Amino acid sequence: MNTPIRRLSVFTMALFAVLMLNLTWIQGFRADALIEDPLNTRQYSEHLSRPRGPIEIAGESVAFSENVAEESGSPLYQRQYTGGEMYTPVTGVLSVYSTTGIESAENSLLDGTDDRLAVRNFRDIITGREPEGARVGLTLDPEVQEAGFDGFRDGGFQGAAVALDPNTGAILGAVSAPSYDANDVASVTDRDTAVNNFVELEQDPDQPLLNRAFNELYPPGSTFKVVTAAAAIESLGATPESTIDAPDLLDFANGPVLPNATPGGTCNGGQPDTLAHSIQISCNTSMANWAMEMGGQALSDQASAFGFNPPEGEELQVPLSVEPSLAPVETDDSILGRAGIGQSNVQATPLQMAMVAAGVANGGEIMRPYLVDSVLDSDMSVVTETQPETFSQAVSASTAEDLTDMMVLVTTAPEGSGTGGAISGTEVAGKTGTAETGGDQATHNWFIGFAPADDPEIAVAVVIEHGGGSGGTLAAPIARAMMEAVVLE
């Protein structure tokens, strides 16, 4: 064999070796990832040939499969969604174009391929019974969800609301507006229309596909003052009656002056103000001074205790992924002062701010938020059942009590900033927020709170995007309606 032929043979054998290694890698090590890839249309087609388990809320199916094939044809299961736009941000959608929400996070249980269903699947093979996916039961309270959804729809608002049971961490409501009807993108008989509808939603500048409750970051504005007050008490030994300078304008060595945000242009006539009164009327300058007094590390550490700044790899999942909220350590006084009032580099999801309210409500202990209450096999046997667990001890019980007393003044005192969140006959603890968004855009408007203040059953966070008003007039009424759905039952 001459040299050129020998070289060609060696080269060809090397190519075959590389090809075999590549096939081994794909089929042996990448198989599961490729099967689960949302762009794998074969995976989607396989979903259509077998019944998928329902997603349930309060025992009612809000997503279920229905055989739409002709009697003589092979099974063709269409996913049906109830509730219109109200539940879609949570349930997500199973479609040829994308699988999202609970449909994605609990896919292996819903389609019956999860290892925890192996015994049932084997039994079905033996008995000849048609296999089915498991039932995934969610924690959402239909009345709480509807109250929040109606508030955004009726007001024509964009934004989000989250409600938690502070005693367990169960997510009682998760509203994102605008939303969309999952049925519009889930058709198996008219896939072209479904895909076109999905592309239209993707290109919509209002981002209806975005789950704002868990995945959008906002400056929390003055709702973050609860965190700052907690840090002042925990790290500086402050009390509700402790005072600090509250000038009408706060000057910094670097950066623009900071005005207070109260009517009349003053917090306490320019005199030092108590921590309790500063929370009650939402004074900017005094809370900025508290932040600078404690320092950036103490403020950031306190925020982390509430759930901000999660370590890499420890980001919260409910089981939907949650965008990490951020409150980094600041050293420049101008930036730190503004961080103390929820501006600057502080960013939070509505879920995070609901966790702040829930932590105060639960004596300083934050319970880990969760959306899936239980998973039942097709024979109604329990596959999994979520047990409440502690997420963190954000503050001491005594600090939580002080914060609660101050937050009650927000909704009950005549000059409180959050009287719009008050419930007749029930004491509500709350905090408003008006967050600047930069440029000429209108402010975001917030309200966080919990009720009843002395025995909390629900904690909420509501944000209105670019409302341009105040948290007490725009966000608080929606929060009140969501709380009333629980406390006035």
Report the CATH number at residue 235: 3.40.710.10
pLDDT tens digits for range 427-437: 999 999 999 98
The tokens describing 35, both together, are: 């099967």
Residue 249's SS3 state is strand
User: For the whole model, what pTM was predicted?
Assistant: 0.89
> Is 248 within a domain?
yes
Q: Let me know: does 461 contact 354? Beta carbons within 8 Å.
A: yes
Which helix (H) or strand (E) segment holds residue 243: the answer is: strand 243-244
Task: Give which of 97, 105, 110, 109 is closest to 180, Cα–Cα.
Answer: 97
The answer to whether residue 307 is domain-embedded is: yes
Flag whether 326 is in a domain: yes
pLDDT digits (tens, 9 = 90+) for 125-142: 666 566 778 999 999 999
Residue 13 maps to a domain: no
* Residue numbers of the domain that contains 250: 215-487
Run of H or E including 302: helix 296-306
Task: List, for residues 322-358, the tens digit of each pLDDT value.
Answer: 999 999 999 999 999 999 999 999 999 999 999 999 9
Cβ atoms of 138 and 437 within 8 Å: the answer is: no
Structural domain count of the chain: 1
Q: Which residues, 6+ apart, have CB-to-CB distance to 237 below 8 Å?
A: none
274 in any annotated domain = yes
Instruction: Please report whether residue 209 resides in a domain.
Output: no
Instruction: Give a yes or no: residue 287 inside a domain.
Output: yes
Binned at pLDDT 50, 70 and 90, residue 36 comes out as low
Residues 266-279 have a mean pLDDT of 95
d(CA 489, CA 457): 11
Residue 222 annotated among the catalytic residues of the structure: yes
Q: Cβ–Cβ contacts within 10 Å for residue 247, how many?
A: 21
Q: Which residue, among 352, 360, 348, has the nearest Cα to 435 in the 3D structure?
A: 348
Catalytic residue among 222, 278, 286, 325: 222
Domain assignment present for 50: no
